[in-house]
Amino acid sequence: MTQHKCYCGPGYATPLDAVRKGPREKLLYVVTVQPKLDEPHGDYLSTVDVDPDSPTFCQVIHRTYTNSTGNEMHHSGWNTCSSCHFVEEKGKAPQRDRLILPCLNSDRIFIVDVGSDPRAPKMAKVIEGDVLKKANVTAPHTTHCLPNGNVMISTMGDAEGNAKGEFIEFDKNFEFVGTWTKGETALCGYDYWYQPLFNVMVASEWGAPKLFRRGWRDSDLDDPTQYGRRLNFYKWNERELFQTIDLGDEGVCPLEIRFLHNPKENQGYVGSTLYSKVYRFYKDEKSDKYLTEKVIDCPAKKVTGAGSEYINGMMTDILISLDDRFIYFSNWMHGDVRQYDITDRSNPKLTGQVWLGGAILSDSSVKVIEDKELTKQPDPTFIKGRRLLGGPQMLQLSLDGKRLYVSSSLFSPWDKQFYPEMVKAGGTIVQIDIDTVNGGMTLNENFLVDFANEPYGPSLPHEMRYPGGDCTSDIWIVNE
């Protein structure tokens, strides 16, 4: 990576440059799932106006339909980001004008043109699932742009839907290049992040597509080769898996994983979903190996009336502010979003907490009989007369760190299992105002994006992105 002059792409030279110079977001691209499986328009990308000075503030102003069924669009990524690009002339750096939308169920990958008209994106290309199956991979998940201009997507299954942690690469024209890993593949796959300065990539694990696609069952945990609990570390240049860390029973389903944004920091965090734990991973100073430590623990609530003795938090998303000061995460079942100051990397300090629904509300049939954190069950939350149903799920933070957007849908088979009332009514997106000086969070009572009255019925908003990139898509590399 030192053989060529490295020019930055269309983003910002450093994470702090994005914080200081990045514009306020005016549009939000939202992956939106159609829960009615036979509705022919299918899933779509919603373009939401989040400009408070606009007459269409908090409204969906455009919908880019897949016009096909059975997809389950989930996460998204850019064709290029603030990673540097190896080009001879700065003006030839690629443009951030394509949003990549992989699908968990159909294995399709939709390429959306957001550059021609950012307010009205249009479908540019569809990569059919057969392309993946021929390479013996399925269930594409996380998309990251690479420093060479290509795009890489993590996958979670083989062609039969068994667990398999692999990655697939496409060129700048979205032509299939091949699978990425050389040698041994991981048992399971999900999310990933890389830091080229340290020649390392780390990936997390969910489970076998044939299991999670049909909904959650406690018995899924019986086979650890088919349901994840590990972090997998790769040599970036060699594309080789060199270390696997088993997080144990508490670390089941380590999903969203983030290195710190500073490309000179060789450490990061992962949220283990099922039991709501955050682990820090970091390089051992005395060896080539990585170590982990549990740094945040959200205890389960002991309950009656829930069909089980305990309700765990189910930590479904985490993100780190671009200045690497705060970590945020959502507990989809408990119903809270939290902010921790991570200035002391090993000792996060809780600085903010907001309740946005969940399964333990004061007016529900669930009664909490033992709680290590709360003295009473939280009350339901209403914004503009709309009760927030389900729990807080995907998060997206503004570049300056002052606005946190929160959507409510996790994965439609699981939405239907755990929060059927949210599926019937449609999901929501809300905004939390952030105190970036002292820490702290406040729910914005004037912001609500309601997916109840969509053209083809209530729908489910999941991941969110801005046209200019964000703190969960952009990866920086050192250019000195």
Residue 477 belongs to a domain:
no
Q: Which amino acid is at 386?
A: R
Residue 136, token pair as written in the block:
């013996």
Pick the closest to residue 355 from 372, 330, 319, 375 (CA basis): 330
Residue 244, CA distances (Å) to 157, 185, 273, 305 in order: 18, 11, 18, 39
Residue 479 belongs to a domain:
no
What's the confidence (pLDDT) of residue 480?
A: 58
pTM for this entry: 0.96
Residue 473 belongs to a domain:
no
Residue 24, token pair as written in the block:
């306020």
What's the confidence (pLDDT) of residue 2?
A: 44
Residue 195, token pair as written in the block:
């830091």
Q: Which residues pair with 200 in a beta bridge?
A: 195, 235
Q: Which residues of the chain have pLDDT under 50?
A: 1-4
> In this structure, what DSSP letter does residue 127 have?
E
Residue 472 belongs to a domain:
no
Backbone angles phi, psi at 303, to 5 degrees: -140, 170
Residue 286 belongs to a domain:
yes
> In this structure, what DSSP letter does residue 51 have?
-
Answer for the pair 28, 18: CB distance below 8 angstroms, yes or no.
no
Pick the closest to residue 317 from 381, 391, 395, 382 (CA basis): 395
Q: Which residues pair with 168 in a beta bridge?
A: 153, 179
Residue 176 belongs to a domain:
yes
What's the confidence (pLDDT) of residue 5?
A: 54
Answer for the pair 311, 331: CB distance below 8 angstroms, yes or no.
no
CA distance 84 to 144: 13
Answer for the pair 157, 185: CB distance below 8 angstroms, yes or no.
no
Number of Cβ within 10 Å of residue 445's Cβ equals 13
Residue 347, token pair as written in the block:
């000792």
Place of tokens 């795009």: 151
Residue 2 belongs to a domain:
no
What's the confidence (pLDDT) of residue 1?
A: 40
> In this structure, what DSSP letter does residue 334 have?
T
CA distance 428 to 418: 16
Q: Which residues contact 81 (CB under 8 A, 6 or more apart)?
A: 9, 11, 96, 144, 145, 469, 473, 474, 475
Place of tokens 């007369």: 385
Pick the closest to residue 449 from 43, 35, 14, 56 (CA basis): 56
Q: Which residues pair with 410 in a beta bridge?
A: none
Answer for the pair 461, 47: CB distance below 8 angstroms, yes or no.
no
Answer for the pair 141, 190: CB distance below 8 angstroms, yes or no.
yes
Domain residue limits at 254: 7-465
> In this structure, what DSSP letter does residue 236 have?
T
Number of structural domains (the chain) is: 1
What's the farthest any 2 CA atoms get from each other in the chain? 65
CA distance 248 to 15: 33
CATH code (residue 296):
2.130.10.10
Helices within 119-197 (DSSP H only):
129-134
The CA-CA-CA angle for residues 473, 53, 44, to 5°, reads 45
Answer for the pair 78, 54: CB distance below 8 angstroms, yes or no.
no
Residue 248 belongs to a domain:
yes
What's the confidence (pLDDT) of residue 7?
A: 59
